[in-house]
Amino acid sequence: MLEGLIVKALSGYYYVKPLRDNQLISGEDQAVQCRARGIFKKRGISPLVGDRVMYSLTENGEGTVDEILPRSSELIRPPVANVDLAVLLFSVKEPDLNLLLLDKFLVHIEHAGLDAVIVLTKQDLTDASDESAEKVKRMYEEIGYEVMITSSLQGIGVQQVKDRLAGEISVFSGQSGVGKSTLLNALMPGLALETSEISLRLGRGRHTTRHVELIELDNGGYVADTPGFSQLDFLELGVEELSSCFREFAPHAAECKFRGCSHLHEPGCRVIQAVEDGTIQAGRYEHYVEFFTEMKDKKRRY
């Protein structure tokens, strides 16, 4: 059997690129079109894009996925395995920066246990006096996130992003219309992704949430070309887990008077105290309260 990486899943086929000495083979090796063995279906398991697998070649030049190797991570939306890094793309302008949505993405990323990089796009649309991107950068860096400001059109920050993606499997997610395809084209000239999110290489029109593909960079990195978390809800997250997804709460939550403190109204809550002291940003706390309420409402409905 051979070892490979699933780089695309489409219509029941898995496209596997070969690995040699546990390293991805860049360049000209074509992906082998494979079917998965029936035993996976019986076990209720599906191969995912990003899976390292053992596969065998069949007589017709195609292949069969025989074994899925252990995963380091698994995302449900988008369905992709072994992701190292989540790149959250949010534009400074057109559309305007939506911090509520950014924080919702960060909750999901924290819950998935992934590293996150926040990439602020379209800096070219702001004038010299506009410091909103720098302000957001400082705000999230204080919490402990990595933040990059970019302009694909002017080449600002593009190399910095590319260097960060080297040798890793990354997933791009964020607001629609933020310039994801423009940035991917800037990272890999000749990629031929239309900026309307249509992939000319695939010739299959607009992406659907079922179609995920890994785009290969020339520095050993792979980017999951996917709509990302197209619909964010909290069905996979327990309400008691929410506060742990706000990383700045942790040192204060440990000192709350009551175990299992919701950080909403309990006396002796150190998180609320930290918000009042300005140690925790009020806007982030307001988003926490909003998410908590949303999750409670959903729980009642289901």
Asked whether residue 121 is marked as a ligand-binding residue, the answer is yes
The answer to whether 154 is annotated as binding is no
| 30 marked among binding-site residues | no
> Is the pLDDT at 261 greater than 90, yes or no?
yes
- Give the pLDDT score at 197: 41
Q: Is the pLDDT of residue 265 over 60?
A: yes
Asked if the model's pLDDT at residue 205 lies above 50, the reply is: no
What was the pLDDT predicted at 182? 87
pLDDT, position 281: 96
Banded pLDDT at 235 (limits 50, 70, 90)? low
- What is the DSSP code (8-state) at residue 182? H
- Candidates 76, 102, 99; CA nearest to 88 is 102
Report which DSSP code applies to 258. S
CA 164/CA 240 separation, integer angstroms: 33
- The CA-based angle 29-169-142, given to 5 degrees, is 155
Confidence label for 201 from pLDDT (cuts 50, 70 and 90)? very low
Q: Fill in the DSSP letter of residue 244.
A: G
CB-CB contact of 90 with 174 (8 Å):
yes
Question: Widest CA span of the chain, in angstroms?
Answer: 70
When pLDDT is averaged across residues 61-76 and rounded to a whole number, the result is 92
**pTM of the predicted structure, to 2 decimals:** 0.85
**Residue 77 pLDDT > 80:** no
179 assigned binding-site residue: yes
> In this model, does residue 255 exceed pLDDT 60?
yes
User: Is residue 93 part of an annotated ligand binding site?
Assistant: no
Which pLDDT does position 300 carry in this prediction? Answer: 65
Average pLDDT over residues 103-110: 92
205 assigned ligand-binding residue = no
- To the question of whether residue 182 is assigned a binding role by annotation, the answer is yes
Is 104 flagged in the annotation as binding? no
Give the pLDDT mean for 115-123: 94
pLDDT at res. 163: 96
Going by C-alpha positions, the residue among 213, 170, 216, 165 that lies closest to residue 190 is 216
pLDDT tens digits along 140-188: 999 999 999 999 889 899 999 999 999 899 998 877 788 888 898 889 8
Is 123 within any annotated ligand binding site? yes
Residue 211's pLDDT band, with cuts at 50, 70 and 90, is: confident
Tell me if 174 is assigned to a ligand binding site.
Answer: yes
Average pLDDT of every residue of the chain: 86
Confidence of residue 110 (pLDDT cuts 50, 70, 90): very high
Give all domains of the chain, ordered by start, each with its CATH number: 2-70 (2.40.50.140), 80-225 (3.40.50.300), 239-301 (1.10.40.50)
- The reply to whether 46 sits in an annotated binding site is no
- Tell me the mean pLDDT in the region 131-140: 93
Residue 26 has pLDDT above 60, yes or no: no
For the residues 252-276, what does the mean pLDDT come to?
A: 95
